[in-house]
Structure 1
Amino acid sequence: MKKYDYIILGTGPAGYKLAGELSAAGKSILAVEGGMFGGTCPNVGCEPKIFLEGTVHTALMSEKLAGRGLVQPAKIDWHQLMQYKKARFNSWPEETKANFYQMGDVAEGYGKFVEPHVIEVNGEKYEGDKIIIATGAHSHKVRFPGDDKTHNSDDVLSLDNVPKRTAIIGGGYISMELGTFLAAAGSEVTILVRSDRVLRGFYHKYTTQLIEAMEKRNIHIRLFSEVNTLENADNGDGMVITTKDGSVFMTDYVLDASGRIPNIEKLDLDQVGIKYSKNGIEVNAHLETSVPGVYAIGDVANLQLPKLTTVGESEAGYLFNYLERGVSDPYFKPTVGTAAFTFPEIAQVGINPEVAQADEEHYTLEEHDLSGSSLYAGLNEKPAKLTLVFDRDDRLVGAAELSATAADDINNFIPAIALGISRADWEKQIVPIYPALADKIGGDLK
């Protein structure tokens, strides 16, 4: 049985980053992968999504400017766009696999624990001084009669032609983003949300305004709506969805975007006593599981942080420093910005304005209507709003925005929040580019 300094289960962004640093440090590593090398983000997640968003965003912006200097709005050719997407991304899994073979040994197959520091892959056993679980997450599937006819986000991101009618189950990032893309390309989209809101965790005031903006583009969002049955239409033209409240409507394609769940079912964690829940593997302040020397990072870990690629890579960097550089501090729980690439985009960082509203003793809110600025007037953009949260020391501690460029805008505030900069510090030390950030906030943060 071959022994390694490190066995890394999973080759997604978190595992990839850690493997690269360990290999450069001269450590022996075994990478174990039973699925697509590189994981979700570069293959069927954030990378191809943002590639498609470039075209979608441009087309939707052109609609706002038609008749205001643009002769006509742009029209999306989805089939052509998808061919360019495939040309860029289809080779990535093999390229990532080749990179792992350069960094160390690779076992192609699903790994499972047989002893606390022994992994079995395809009947072969391997021992690791330290084992890192970075297996990520996979699409959740809602169960109902006819659920075999649904698709997941992986399918949509390789969809050659746009369905005439699309139904999407769920109100999270994937649902709202892919609904935006498909509708922009000409599909009539209906989004079924079982609760009272979409994008839970974002500022509710802005998610409500986002729904209003999407409805104006013929994206139908049905709250308190769950699928009861899905069956083929009698006339062969599409499918029939019946919801639990008795509503019936037609569709040609159903995307199940009801969420993602940690990849733990094949690991046999119970065999060695690694604790976990439906939210992922339990870890301590050093990302160590209940078994000494076994760690979990990325989407498979339960850290009560957003399940984002950037967070997983942050955890990987921390773990390398902790295990190889003697950094003994606990994982620092970074200031994490997050965005949904809808249209308009919605983004935020730090204290949610809803939390601040409920605690007026410690926080104050400032909301800015951005649409009056020359920049947003030139984009003909409505809604375009920004809310800032300050603590009692006048430090910026939260920001939320709804606009066509919300993700980039909120990125401007992340360093200020992470570093604890007060309004006075900002005025004294920072002169931002104008007209950009300064124009959007009317100079009120300075």
Structure 2
Amino acid sequence: MNMKKYNEILIGSGPAAYKMSNLLAKTSHSVLVIEGFEFGGTCPNYGCEPKIFLEGAARTVLQSQQLVGRGISQPAKLDWQALMKTKLSRFDPWPDETHSIIEKSHDVEEGYAHFIGDKTVSVNGRQYQADHIIIATGQTPNILDIPGKEYLHTNYDLLSLKTLPSRVAVIGAGFVGLELATLVAAAGADVTMIIHSDRVLREFTRAEDKMLVEAMKERGIKFIFNANTQKISQLKDELIIATDQGEVRADYILNVTGRHPNIEKLALDNTNIKYDHHGIKVDDHMMTSVDGIYAIGDVVSRQEPKLTPVAEFEGQYLFDYLTGKTTQPITYPLIGQAAFTFPEVARVGVNADSVAGDSQYQIKRIPLKYGSLYAGQNDQVSTLTLVFKGKQLVGASEIGDYAADDINNLIPIIGLQIDGNEYRQKVMTIYPTLGDKIAGLLP
């Protein structure tokens, strides 16, 4: 067989691989990009991009509801069909556009790659080798293995749903589950969340977790904690979800019980590549246990959160490493996280709960509802939590309508290790927002 060889083979075309693809397009390298699903991956097609697009309308509706009697007499109403029409017109062309951009510079195979040895991948019956093979296949949704699982839907389905069901059950309460529950409830669906454990976002403090749940309950979203989903059945025109906490009746069931590494089709057992249930194991240069094979993005087994900016950072790093621009091991920056619920929750650095009682750390909790900006929005729950080690800010989290933007104000202070005096001498932020208050909060 005449086997074609490249400088690089990219398996996947999501944020990590797309970053590398664009960088490699500026070189003379020969590159093959293999994609068996949607070009561009989850984020622009079924994840963060369409989610934040839809959140813009949902937030406006919920803020208007929050202001009834405080200057707004008629709250906004979300038109799901019109919203989804605008969403589909924006995002449906993206896979083809991404494919076209990649194809201008690189060879492309549409199909699923699998390894037939440590150095060879096969796709569509053709075999390829490369100096560097980069696995960037991301993650894929978990599906509960229970009777009636054929009635379960994922975020892929819901984010293209043209007609909104009356009753939506959400199984799971991580970032995606809470965000999508917020969205469909804002559009008028009756929402019930079925949660396996006793709380939702464990990345945040228990206080923030509780405040978020209470705020969502006040808008009519129901929560069933410590519930194991046992089976799903259809009765006439409704679905019955059987749990050990009773039955839930719904018209649509969203399964958001986490994600797992998208490696099933790669046939890694034909190689010496090591992996676990978190993903493919790599060293500090993103190389797998096989020389010349690398992994980047959400498919990697690592402690850092599996986020689009992290995937792109790894794509940039690996390009620099493979092209000789660096020999240093990868060092991750400070990484912020947010759930675009209503209210939002956002965090960075040290979690206050993890250092409670440790005399090395000092924790400040500041209610923000008294500030004019927050009071004007009737944002009653906004609370900022700051963690200091000596005079250095090392952690921050917030629940509130502007949590993501507020925490973004604090990430440079922590990441660049700026103390209060330096901040006050070099920065004067816009008054009277949270940025204005930060100077006074830093020791």
The verdict on a shared fold, with TM-score over 0.5 as the criterion, is yes
1:404 aligns with 2:397: no
Kept after mapping to 1: 8 A contact 2:297/2:310: yes
Residue 425 of structure 1, CA deviation? 2.0
Match of 1:218 in 2: 220
- Pick which of 337-346 and 197-206 moved more: 197-206
Specify the SS of the correspondent of 1:420.
coil
The 8 Å contact of residues 373 and 432 in structure 2, kept in 1 or not, is answered as yes
User: Counterpart of 2:441 in 1: which secondary structure?
Assistant: coil
Q: How far apart in 1 are the matches of 2:285 and 2:206?
A: 33
Bigger CA drift: 130-139 or 320-329? 320-329
Partner of 2:238: 238
CA-atom RMSD in angstroms: 1.2
Q: TM-score, normalised by structure 2?
A: 0.97
8 Å contact from structure 2 (residues 420, 439) kept in 1: no
Mapped to 2, the partners of 1:317 and 1:442 lie a distance apart of 34
Which residue of structure 2 aligns with residue 389 of structure 1?
387
Tell me, what secondary structure is at the counterpart of 1:230?
strand
Q: Deviations over 1:393-438 (max 9, x none)?
A: x111110000011111111111111111122222222212211223
TM-score by length of 1: 0.97
In the alignment, structure 2 segments of 5+ residues that lack a partner are none
Amino acid paired to 2:427: I
How is 1:276-355 mapped onto 2 (pairs within 5 angstroms)? 276-355=275-354
Superposition deviation, residue 106 in structure 1: 0.5
SS, match of residue 115 in structure 1: coil
Q: Deviations over 1:20-73 (max 9, x none)?
A: 101112211100001111000000110000000000001101111122222211
Cα distance in 1, alignment partners of residues 421 and 205 from structure 2: 26
Matches within 5 A, 1:63-74: 63-74=65-76
- Identify unmatched segments of 5+ residues in structure 1: none
Letter in 2 for 1:405: Y
Alignment counterpart, residue 182 of structure 1, candidates 162, 184, 204: 184
CA distances 1:140-177 after superposition (whole Å, capped 9, x unpaired):
00111111111111100011111111101111011100
Determine if contact 1:375/1:439 at 8 Å carries over to the other structure.
Answer: no
More displaced, 203-212 or 425-434?
425-434
SS at match of 1:443: helix
| Residue type at the aligned position of 1:420 | Q
SS of 2:200's equivalent in the other structure is coil
1:155 and 2:157 are equivalent in the alignment: yes
CA distance in 1, matches of 2:307, 2:244: 32
Measured after TM superposition, the shift of residue 87 of structure 1 is 0.3
Amino acid at match of 1:4: Y
Report whether the alignment pairs 1:107 with 2:109.
yes
Partner residue in 1 for 2:139: 137
Give yes or no for the alignment of 1:258 onto 2:257. yes
- 327 and 269 in structure 1: CA distance in 2 versus 1, 3 angstrom threshold: same
CA distance in 1, matches of 2:4, 2:239: 53
Aligned residues: 441
Tell me, in whole angstroms, the C-alpha distance in 2 between the residues paired with 1:52 and 1:65. Answer: 21
C-alpha separation in 2, matches of 1:434 and 1:113 = 58
Matched, 1:416 2:418: no
Structure 1 residues 54-133: aligned runs within 5 Å: 54-133=56-135
Code of the residue aligned with 1:165 in structure 2: it is: R
Which residue identity does 1:435 align to in structure 2? Answer: P
Say whether the 8 Å CA contact 1:132–1:295 is kept in structure 2.
yes
1:259-314: CA deviation from partner (whole Å, max 9, x where unpaired): 11111111111211100000000011111100011111100001211010010001
Match of 1:380 in 2: 378
Aligned partner of 2:432 in structure 1 is: 435
Shift, 1:440, TM fit: 5.3
In structure 2, distance between residues paired with 1:383 and 1:299: 33
Whole-Å separation in 2 of the counterparts to 1:50 and 1:337: 16
Aligned to 1:35: 37
Residue 11 of structure 1 corresponds to 13
